[in-house]
Structures are given as structure tokens and as C-alpha cells.
Amino acid sequence: MFTDMVGYTRLTQTNESLAMRLLRTHNKLIRQTLSRFGGKEVKTIGDAFLVEFGSALDATKCAVEIQRVIHKHSKKTDEKLLVRIGIHVGDVIHRNRDVFGDAVNIASRIEPLADGGDICISEQVYVQVRNKISLPLAKLESPDLKNITFPMDVYKVELPWSKVETKPKAGIATPLVSVPRAEKPDYEQVDRHSVGRIMLKLTMKDRLIIVKLKNDTEIPTVLARFSETVDYGRGETLHIVSAVETVSLVIDSTNLEKLRRTIPEKNILRVYPGLAEIVISFPEETILAPGIVATISGELAKNKVNILEYFGSSPQSIIIVDQKDALKSYQLLQRLTTEARSGSALRTID
């Protein structure tokens, strides 16, 4: 986790004594909060902190509490503090009481995307905390992270006391608006052309398996324990689809033995190996538009691709296919977006 005090450098040039007093208050409030969530202060660089945590959830909860404490302090005094926070999860290298590695570099690039008083988290953190905190998480437009090779989604934690921006600032993305599930979106039936236009990003991963489990009262607790062992920071996969009598898991094949050690053997009904997934990202306001699932599944079926599972998980759709069909499926969907944007015809892939 990186934190940064907004406006400190500029304040030192106009009122150095006030800047130093605010810095001392800033440091005190942050350090008091870190100790409550197991945060390890790696180093302080002027008005910035680099902090290490045992989990992404601890880091996110701590960041929320830091912003709450600072907001409360600013309301009580004339000392208006604003802090931006960025969080990423991944492996680091410890050397001479410092930490190094891609995880540190990415966290440092995410932090400036936050406005004063805000928290931004990486896609990897989002995956680990999205069902474990009560605050909304708004996906930002795809940022250009300096010196970071691979594209990465970034989310903002929407704090209840933050002001709602009516006009986006330059360089800061506008959060997408969720459509309430209780309401029917006001969209016409989409077709293959409109689906292609609203597909934002495709990713593909192979060497997956589906494990079908018999559901009982112990399974939710056991699965929560297994979920904590999945290394999302390394790109490992876990999708859970629960029904009344069964639960389906999509996991990496390398985690099967670990799952078998966690789940009672009597609950494992069947294992389906040799699978792959295609993840399609959509704007949240369009994911519920009628016709998306039928159009995508129809396009693949027309080209003799058998969809084994289809998960609608806003703002993404996750398609599970045989591993042998993975590249073909990816290319078909990729061409669907190309066709929609260029008007060219989509050819069947043999």
C-alpha cells in the first residue's frame, strides 16, 4: 500500500511551519491506524508511506479506516488533510529492511490515480475483496500505468463521506453506473453487431478444471478456507457457482490436489479436466441488456464450439469451453468486436 499526502510539497513553499505541523498530524493518524490492521511500515518518503500487509483485505480495510480517521479529523479542525491511497497485491523481495518487485512498482503507479481522500485498488485486490467489504467498488477507465507492460483494471473504493463528482477531472476515469437488478434496463434487443461494440476486453486462460461438489452445511465454510489458499496475485482462478444440491468450482488444474485435501472426498461428485475460460468485460450499464448471452453463445455454437458453462458475473461474462476450443473461441469473439467496429463480415473458423 502506498499513501501520499496531497498538496504537501506546494504547502511547504508557502507556509512551511503549517506544512510540518500537518505532516506530523498526518504521520500520527496513519501510524495509529496501521497498528490496528497489522500493517508493517516499510518506509516513509517525505509525506508518503509504503506499507506491507498480510492480506489484500487487511490493506483495504486499513485504507478505509485511514480515510475515515483523516476525514473525521479534518471536520473537527481547520487542518484540512487529504490523502490518496493505492493498493496492489503480489510477491515482493525483502532486502535491507526495504521491499522491491513488480508489486511495489504497480502500487506506486496506482496511488496517483486516486483523488485526495480516495482509495484505488488493482484488479488483483478487487478479486480478493469484492465480496468481503460492504463498500461499492467502481471500475475506472483502463489506465495507462507508466512502465507497466500488461494492461490492468483499477477500481475505486467508494467511501460514503466522499463528495460525488459531477464532472470528471482530466486524467481521472468516470466510474461506471450499475443498473439495479430489480429494474429492467431500457435497451433494445442486442444483436451480434451491438454486442461486438460493447465488449471492452477479452482474456483467455487454459489448464482449468470444473469440480462438481455435493452441497451441505459444511461446504461454504470449507470453500471459504480453500479460497484463502488461492493465489490470485499470481493469476490463479476460482469461480464458484452454488445451487441447492450442488456447487460447481472452476479452478486451476494445479490446485486440484489442494482442493482434495480441503474438501471431504464424499462431497466430490465429478471432475471435468482439460478446460479453458474466456472472460469478456462489459460496461456495467450494459451487462444486463437482453440478447447478450444468446448472441455470444449462438456465435460460438454456429462455429461448433461447445460451451460447458456460462457465468454472468457483472461486469464480466465467463465462458468455459474445452481447452482444444479455447483459441478458436477467443479468435471468434475477437473478430466479433472487429466486425462491429469495422463493418467487415465475420467468417467461420474451421
pLDDT along the chain (350 residues), means of 10: 85 79 90 91 88 92 94 83 90 80 82 88 89 86 55 84 47 34 42 73 90 86 85 80 78 93 90 91 65 80 87 74 92 81 50
Is residue 309 included in any domain, yes or no?
Answer: yes
Within its chain, how far is the Cα of 264 from the centroid? 30
d(CA 84, CA 144): 18
Q: Which residues contact 268 (CB under 8 A, 6 or more apart)?
A: 211, 212, 213, 214, 260
* Domain identity same for 254 and 324: yes
The number of folded domains in the chain is: 2
Contact 158, 175 (CB under 8 A): yes
**CATH number (domain holding residue 271):** 3.30.2130.10
Q: Enter the C-alpha cell of residue 208.
A: 482449468
Is residue 180 included in any domain, yes or no?
Answer: no
* Domain identity same for 135 and 201: no
Query: What's the pLDDT at 179?
Result: 31
Question: Nearest Cα to 322, choosing from 334, 306, 311, 333?
Answer: 306
Domain range for 47 is 2-157
d(CA 196, CA 219): 38
Q: Enter the C-alpha cell of residue 8.
A: 504537501
Phi, psi dihedrals of residue 344, rounded to the nearest 5°: -80, 160
* Domain identity same for 219 and 128: no
**CATH number (domain holding residue 63):** 3.30.70.1230
Question: Nearest Cα to 83, choosing from 138, 162, 13, 141?
Answer: 162
Q: Tell me which of 157, 175, 201 is where a domain ends.
A: 157
Q: Tell me which of 114, 130, 157 is where a domain ends.
A: 157
* Domain identity same for 149 and 41: yes
Is residue 165 included in any domain, yes or no?
Answer: no
* Domain identity same for 259 and 323: yes
Is residue 60 included in any domain, yes or no?
Answer: yes
Query: What's the pLDDT at 176?
Result: 34
